[in-house]
Amino acid sequence: MDRIRIVGGKPLIGTIPISGAKNAALPLMIASLLTDDTLTLENVPYLDDVDQLIRILGNHGVDYSVTGKRRGQDENYARNIHFTARNIVDTTAPYELVSKMRASFWVVGPLLARTGRARVSLPGGCAIGTRPVDLFIDGLHHLGAEIEVDGGYVNAKAEGGLKGGRYVFPKVSVGATHVLMMAATLTKGTTELENAAREPEVVNLAECLIAMGAKISGHGTSTIIIEGVDQLSGARHAVVADRIETGTYAMAVAMTGGDVLLAGAKADLLQAALEKIRESGADVIEEAGGIRVRKNGAEINPVDVTTEVFPGFPTDLQAQFMGLMTRSTGTSRIVETIFENRFMHVQELARLGAHISLSGQSAVVEGVPVLRGAPVMATDLRASSALIIAGLAAEGTTEVNRVYHLDRGFERLEAKLAGCGAEIERVAD
């Protein structure tokens, strides 16, 4: 099993290209199930989760092809993929596929909308909380689906087709918003989703569906209106820049010092996180080509953070920000409000010398002057990047094990950091 070895203490200087967002690419790929025409997605990142979802879609009968390399294009970053679901040959998403990635459960909406039935295994994914599928089931029920859960599978049918309806999410859910919005595009009548997620990835999906012929308004607000249509067509659409990758590398620069242009990054996708990085003492400057982050090696200020749904501070950057705060000059408090089990990185950061105490959903971080390298174990995707950030600033060598978590959500992380001067390499056992 691969691991990443880091010798800390090197400032980051250069340019890091920001990839397409995993959290946007996955629902866009699933949207291909809604039409028998070809959906072409641009800027799709090279990630294990993308490859796993390709296998899942293939099980349903979706064909795909990848556009060849073009002049001046780095073959290691991004790609254009064409998806064609001309014939849905299987409406079952089996356990052995769905258990490896939670987002694959989202096929339940498009399958049900297009074929009138779906049998989808209950999902797997990172162990950062229970993340139940109750909202998915309840929402689809409001659109006329008959659903039962049996033997670890969600069995859904809508023999006369789904029907428009009004659904108020009891709590904001990005995944459930994705699923219900996709399902509602092919319903009879109008669907109103209230307390819907406002995340950029939801907006990116809505824009793609509109390009395919869907009638959607209100995306980016808490109320989304979808007027059902008889069918959708193919389209060409680009995956939005990854705001979580942007924030992660920005925090790495704030931690180590240096001057890095995050090429292609969009500041409006993560203003709350960028403001916290500024408060920590780094310069964050919006430029025509992206976002520049500079830090002159001065002390890191302690900053309190509470995770919130968009446009608040993202839960997917909480672990990385905690890594940054381990070297602050005082005490910071981090409150996690989205997932109930997202502090598993704490004990691994402690192995590097961090001082962190936990109380329920709050973590108090007492900054230390020095972190020291040690072997650590990644517990999930975002925790992995927190350990990378800490390792970049630690004295000596840090080895991060279980880096397959990183490969699920970060495109060539070690190559991007090495290109800016980090002493980092992937080591195969």
Residue 356, annotated ligand binder? no
Q: Give dist(CA 282, CA 280) in Å, integer.
A: 6
Residue 149, annotated ligand binder? no
Specify the pLDDT at position 129: 40
Q: For the chain, what is the mean pLDDT?
A: 93
Structure tokens at 125: 């994914």
Out of 50, 78, 126, 387, pick the active-site residue.
126
Q: Reply yes or no on whether the pLDDT at 394 is more than 90.
A: yes
pLDDT above 70 covers what percent of the chain?
Answer: 96
Peptide bond into 132 cis (omega under 30): no
Q: Reply yes or no on whether the pLDDT at 111 is more than 60.
A: yes
CB atoms within 10 A of CB 144: 18
Which residue has better confidence, 379 or 163? 163
Q: What is the pLDDT of residues 300-328, one digit of tens each?
A: 999 999 999 999 999 999 999 999 999 99
Specify the pLDDT at position 257: 96
Residue 132, annotated ligand binder? yes
> Would 3-19+241-427 and 22-238 be classified into the same CATH topology?
yes
Question: What letter represents residue 94's amino acid?
Answer: P
Q: Reply yes or no on whether the pLDDT at 138 is more than 90.
A: yes
Q: What is the pLDDT of residues 276-293, one digit of tens each?
A: 999 999 999 999 999 999
Structure tokens at 301: 């200020």
CA-to-CA separations, 89 to 59, 60, 92, 115, 147, in angstroms, rounded: 8, 6, 9, 10, 21
- Residue 342, helix vs strand vs coil: coil
pLDDT bin (cut points 50, 70, 90) of residue 125 is: very low
Q: Give dist(CA 194, CA 332) in Å, integer.
A: 35
Residue 174, annotated ligand binder? yes
Residue 22, annotated ligand binder? yes
Task: Please give the CATH number for the structural domain made up of 22-238.
Answer: 3.65.10.10
Is residue 208 flagged as an active site residue? no
What topology is assigned to 3-19+241-427 in CATH? UDP-n-acetylglucosamine1-carboxyvinyl-transferase; Chain (3.65.10)
Q: What is the mean pLDDT of residues 30-39?
A: 98
Domain range summary for the chain, segments of one domain joined by +? 3-19+241-427, 22-238
Residue 294, annotated ligand binder? no
Q: Give dist(CA 64, CA 345) in Å, integer.
A: 37
Specify the pLDDT at position 74: 65
Q: Given the structure tokens 């690419």, which residue do they identify?
A: 25
CB atoms within 10 A of CB 369: 8
Q: What pTM was estimated for this model as a whole?
A: 0.94
Q: What is the mean pLDDT of residues 385-399?
A: 96
